């Protein structure tokens, strides 16, 4: 096998080269410190692969995203979210029997323990739903402990996927002071979520197919994205053998920030600000170029071309708004900004293109989802990815606790003078 040579302090070292199935090359430096005494320095992990994984492949230069080898463009056309979740978690698309069983289990386990309902009363009415989601998901471990037995583990995977959407919808109902709507067995994952969000005890509610389809699509494009900030957090927490709910709750917190899943909310707030300014983008672009603001929903650590998820969502936005007969002025502003940025040297030179969050917020808005729930929607989509990555890590017998090193730059030994 080929090796990479390192010359360091007059000595030469060989490190193995590893190659992924799509031709990605890595230098295995696990023995670097033992052999040389030195560590690598890579803040932000710009050049560091933290694991080998067979779940998701991204080619950021070509704009490719595949789950278990299936292109995202095919999955959104041909599968529903539960099947994609199954694919990510168990490695293959379910056959019809597996899918029936999976759907049934997702429905049967979507009720949260009645005692947990009381927790909602403790949150203030204006609590951010991400705070509620992370706290409630962590609390699930109090009800469903990780016994380490295979059957419990299987069930906890289902409980997490199924109950997160119930928790999300209840947190919304709590914020608007409406009564909770229980999930029902006859509805799909997406239809149940929409019903729990928008039905009231006063009237019947059946989700419009266009909304159900849009939700499936949104959940699928968010379902996994290899070793991003929240997924790496899930793996990091899970590497200490913390249980699945604890690891997922940590992932929810990591996702919350505006540079990650919180960007969808930030995009809408940015577009609304520009609209309030009369739709004039000049001032905003000047601020971005002065580095006083960021164009939210643009740029990505991995994609250096158009994010394939943004392409899917842009098309879906036009389609859904058309069917619903919505004329949202923010769409025009978003398209104007996109066109301008794609032709502006500041963005072109830095390879900044729309990412998944640029159009997702507009779609959520059209579906009636309130802005502060957008990141929760991202989390619901991402849960299968977190579960898949957590399982992959936990099933690796050679997995060690994740524990990076540092380069200490603080004071050397100081001596105490006098009492303090």
Ligand X SMILES: CC(C)(COP(=O)(O)OP(=O)(O)OC[C@H]1O[C@@H](n2cnc3c(N)ncnc32)[C@H](O)[C@@H]1OP(=O)(O)O)[C@@H](O)C(=O)NCCC(=O)NCCS
Which residues of this chain interact with ligand X, rule CB under 6 A? 259, 263, 288, 291, 294-301, 350, 352, 355-357
Least distance from ligand X to the Cβ atom of residue 390, Å = 21
Residue nearest to ligand X (CB): 299
**Of the candidates 223, 205, 177, 192, the residue with the CA atom closest to the CA atom of residue 81:** 223
Whose Cβ is closer to ligand X: residue 25's or residue 259's? 259
322, 80 in Cβ contact below 8 A?
Answer: no
Whose Cβ is closer to ligand X: residue 310's or residue 383's? 310
Least distance from ligand X to the Cβ atom of residue 219, Å = 16
Residues tagged active-site: 300, 357
Least distance from ligand X to the Cβ atom of residue 310, Å = 9
Whose Cβ is closer to ligand X: residue 154's or residue 287's? 287
Least distance from ligand X to the Cβ atom of residue 295, Å = 4
DSSP state of 93: P
What is the distance between the alpha carbons of residues 285 and 273, in angstroms, rounded to a whole number? 13
57, 69 in Cβ contact below 8 A?
Answer: yes
Bridge-partner residues for 199, per DSSP? none
Least distance from ligand X to the Cβ atom of residue 65, Å = 12
- Angle at CA of residue 147, ends 144 and 150, nearest 5°: 100
**Of the candidates 107, 116, 117, the residue with the CA atom closest to the CA atom of residue 184:** 107
Tokens matching residue 322: 């058309």
230, 261 in Cβ contact below 8 A?
Answer: yes
**Of the candidates 190, 253, 260, 251, the residue with the CA atom closest to the CA atom of residue 218:** 190
Whose Cβ is closer to ligand X: residue 109's or residue 357's? 357
Whose Cβ is closer to ligand X: residue 191's or residue 288's? 288
Torsion of CA 257, 262, 263, 265, to 10 degrees: -140
Hunting for tokens 């000047």 — which residue is that? 286
């Amino acid at each position: 096998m080929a090796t990479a040579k390192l010359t360091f302090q007059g000595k030469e070292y060989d490190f193995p080269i590893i190659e992924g199935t799509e031709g990605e090359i890595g230098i295995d430096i696990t023995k670097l410190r033992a052999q040389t005494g030195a560590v690598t320095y890579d803040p932000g992990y710009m050049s560091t692969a933290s694991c080998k994984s067979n779940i998701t492949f991204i080619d950021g230069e070509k704009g490719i995203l595949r789950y278990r080898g299936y292109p995202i463009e095919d999955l959104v056309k041909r599968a529903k979210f539960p099947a994609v979740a199954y694919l990510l978690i168990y490695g293959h698309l379910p056959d019809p029997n597996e899918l029936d069983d999976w759907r049934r289990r997702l429905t049967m386990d979507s009720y949260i323990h009645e005692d947990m309902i009381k927790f909602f009363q403790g949150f203030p009415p204006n609590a951010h739903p991400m705070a509620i989601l992370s706290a409630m998901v962590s609390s699930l471990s109090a009800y469903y402990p990780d016994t380490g037995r295979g059957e419990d583990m299987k069930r906890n995977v289902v409980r997490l996927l199924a109950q997160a959407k119930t928790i999300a919808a209840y947190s919304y109902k709590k914020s608007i002071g409406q009564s909770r709507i229980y999930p029902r067995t006859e509805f799909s994952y997406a239809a149940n979520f929409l019903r729990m969000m928008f039905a009231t005890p006063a009237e019947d509610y059946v989700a419009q197919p266009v909304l159900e389809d849009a939700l499936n699509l949104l959940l699928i494009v968010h379902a996994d994205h290899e070793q991003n900030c929240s997924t790496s957090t899930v793996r990091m927490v899970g590497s200490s053998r913390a249980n699945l709910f604890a690891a997922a709750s940590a992932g929810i917190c990591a996702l919350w920030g505006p540079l990650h899943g919180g960007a969808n909310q930030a995009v809408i707030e940015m577009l609304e600000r520009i609209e309030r300014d009369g739709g004039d983008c000049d001032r905003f672009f000047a601020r971005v170029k002065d580095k006083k603001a960021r164009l939210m929903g643009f740029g990505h650590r991995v994609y250096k071309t158009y994010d394939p998820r943004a392409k899917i969502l842009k098309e879906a936005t036009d389609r859904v708004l058309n069917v619903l007969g919505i004329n949202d002025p923010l769409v025009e502003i978003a398209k104007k900004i996109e066109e301008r940025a794609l032709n502006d040297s500041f963005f072109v030179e830095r390879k900044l293109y729309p990412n998944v969050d640029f159009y997702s917020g507009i779609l959520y808005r059209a579906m009636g989802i309130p802005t502060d729930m957008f990141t929760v929607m991202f989390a619901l989509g991402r849960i299968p990815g977190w579960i898949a990555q957590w399982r992959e890590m936990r099933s690796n017998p050679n997995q060690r606790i994740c524990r990076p090193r540092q380069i200490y730059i603080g004071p050397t030994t100081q001596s105490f003078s006098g009492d303090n």
